């Protein structure tokens, strides 16, 4: 993979990097961004070009042994406390790179990078980077030495509004854990949810009003037609949040409440067992930055269905890993679900290996290689 020629008037340097990582969610936090940050920190720890990483999260507390080279500090209360702590770290210690894990925190990171003559690496994820941002955020984005985006879609949307050279924005897609692989259904979960003889459609994700774009309501709307052609179909929804009552109402109003099961929050350690319950994973989203759950589902041997209007297409490798549909085309969704439920046996997950942790680590090392050429 070719390197990037980051613009700089500073002399070349080949030193091992000391990195200050300013994170929203770190080790001990939950959600897709937290998982991405953990994977990235772990990959940085593997790089021979990294000396140390000091991570300051807003949320999360490390409860397990961290990778060598990684030190995660305790979260600081509130934005002001977190920003003050970040400033103290940056001004007290010498860092070669400040990594900022979320665009909303970019103004703090950019100010500290400028004050300390430190390189700024900014990470962008999803819809928060898709529309024009003004003021301090726009300045911070345009001053970054390197920006990594989780998908081509997010990169393209960022470049639509930010006045920044395209070569400074690289795609660094998500990876997946090693625990995901085809496995037998757990009998206790089958009994608990009443899934004997069922063909299960699964969605995993937060169920909050701010993330209705994930498309659980689209699957519920399609379910009557799916059940008419596949009476054994059951829709299992994993996740928690304030939007569950609305989805429950949608299921009741369509007369399919008995075929829609809300499993609630499931610990990350148990998710592989929930993927094993399903035949197909469906998340017809319109606002996903990437969608690590697509990779987890595909690696678990499920048929996978996603949308073509966001970063889902990257996770599905433009159709090589799963079915890419127009999420607002109900007939396409019904047809894709019925076809997936009609198949027999698990699907090989080898095509998803392009997103393996080893490949992710190599990609991160390439980025670090570029950053080592630049001194403060």
Residue 13 clears pLDDT 50, i.e. is over it: no
For 2, counting Cβ atoms within 10 Å of its Cβ (0-12 exposed, 13-18 middle, 19+ buried), the class is: exposed
Distance from the first to the final alpha carbon of the chain: 25
Predicted local confidence at residue 93, as pLDDT: 93
Predicted local confidence at residue 348, as pLDDT: 61
* Contact (Cβ atoms closer than 8 angstroms) between residue 151 and residue 311: yes
Beta bridge partners, 97, equal 19, 119
What pTM was estimated for this model as a whole?
0.87
Mean pLDDT of the chain: 91
Give the DSSP letter of residue 173.
Answer: -
Residue 5 clears pLDDT 70, i.e. is over it: no
Give the DSSP letter of residue 143.
Answer: H
Q: Is the dihedral of CA 141, 147, 151, 152 positive or negative?
A: positive
Arithmetic mean of pLDDT, 347-373:
86
pLDDT > 70 fraction of the chain, expressed in percent and rounded: 93
User: Quick one: pLDDT band at residue 10, thresholds 50, 70, 90?
Assistant: very low
Distance CA 2, CA 5 (A): 9
For 329, counting Cβ atoms within 10 Å of its Cβ (0-12 exposed, 13-18 middle, 19+ buried), the class is: middle
Question: How many helical (H) and strand (E) elements, i.e. helices and strands, does the chain have?
Answer: 13, 13
User: Quick one: pLDDT band at residue 345, thresholds 50, 70, 90?
Assistant: low
| Residue 299 neighbours by CB under 8 Å, 6+ apart | 176, 180, 181, 349, 352
Distance CA 198, CA 181 (A): 21
Arithmetic mean of pLDDT, 290-307:
94
Outline where DSSP puts E strands in 70-219. 70-72, 97-100, 119-124, 146-149, 169-171, 199-204
* Contact (Cβ atoms closer than 8 angstroms) between residue 10 and residue 375: yes
Predicted local confidence at residue 40, as pLDDT: 97
Domains in the chain, start-ordered, CATH in brackets? 17-175+356-372 (3.40.50.2000), 187-353 (3.40.50.2000)
At 203-219, the pLDDT tens digits run 999 999 999 999 999 99
At 146-166, the pLDDT tens digits run 999 999 999 999 999 999 999
| Residue 305 neighbours by CB under 8 Å, 6+ apart | 280, 281, 282, 283, 284, 322, 323, 325, 333, 336, 337, 340
Predicted local confidence at residue 350, as pLDDT: 60
Predicted local confidence at residue 12, as pLDDT: 42
Residue 4 clears pLDDT 50, i.e. is over it: no
Predicted local confidence at residue 2, as pLDDT: 40
Closest CA to 19 of 373, 368, 369: 368
At 103-156, the pLDDT tens digits run 999 999 999 999 999 999 999 999 999 999 989 999 999 999 999 999 999 999
**Angle, in degrees to the nearest 10, between helices 216-229 and 244-253:** 30
Maximum mean pLDDT: which of 21-35, 228-242, 307-321: 228-242
């Amino acid at each position: 993979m070719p390197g990037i020629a980051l613009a700089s008037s500073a002399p070349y340097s080949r030193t091992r990097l000391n990195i200050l990582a300013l994170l929203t969610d770190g080790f001990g936090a939950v959600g897709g961004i937290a998982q991405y940050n953990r994977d990235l920190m772990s990959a940085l720890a593997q790089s021979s070009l990294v000396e140390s990483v000091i991570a300051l999260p807003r949320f999360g507390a490390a409860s397990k042994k961290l990778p060598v080279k990684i030190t995660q500090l305790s979260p600081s209360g509130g934005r002001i406390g977190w920003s003050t702590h970040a400033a103290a770290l940056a001004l007290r210690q010498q860092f070669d790179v400040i990594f900022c894990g979320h665009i909303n925190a970019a103004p703090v990171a950019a100010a500290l990078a400028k004050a300390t003559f430190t390189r700024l690496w900014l990470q962008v994820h999803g819809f928060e980077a898709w529309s024009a941002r003004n003021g301090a955020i726009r300045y911070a984005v345009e001053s970054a030495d390197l920006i990594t985006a989780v998908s081509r879609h997010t990169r393209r949307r960022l470049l639509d509004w930010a006045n920044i050279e395209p070569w400074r924005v690289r795609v660094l897609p998500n990876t997946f854990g090693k625990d995901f692989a085809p496995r037998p259904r757990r009998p206790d979960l089958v009994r608990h949810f009443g899934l004997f003889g069922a063909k299960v459609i699964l969605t995993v994700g937060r169920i909050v009003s701010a993330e209705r774009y994930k498309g659980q309501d689209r699957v519920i709307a399609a379910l009557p037609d799916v059940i008419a052609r596949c009476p054994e179909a059951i829709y299992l929804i994993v996740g928690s949040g304030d939007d569950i009552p609305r989805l429950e109402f949608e299921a009741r109003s369509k007369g399919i409440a008995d075929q829609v099961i809300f499993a609630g929050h499931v610990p990350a350690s148990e998710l592989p067992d929930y993927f094993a319950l399903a035949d197909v994973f469906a998340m017809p989203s319109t606002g996903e930055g990437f969608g690590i759950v697509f990779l987890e589902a595909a690696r678990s041997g499920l048929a996978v269905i996603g949308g073509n209007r966001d970063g889902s297409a990257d996770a599905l490798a433009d159709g090589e890993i799963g079915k890419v549909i127009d999420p607002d085309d109900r007939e396409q969704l019904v047809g894709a679900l019925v076809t997936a439920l009609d198949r027999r046996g698990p699907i090989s997950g080898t095509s998803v290996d392009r997103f393996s942790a080893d490949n992710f680590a190599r990609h991160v090392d390439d980025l670090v290689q570029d950053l080592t050429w630049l001194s403060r």
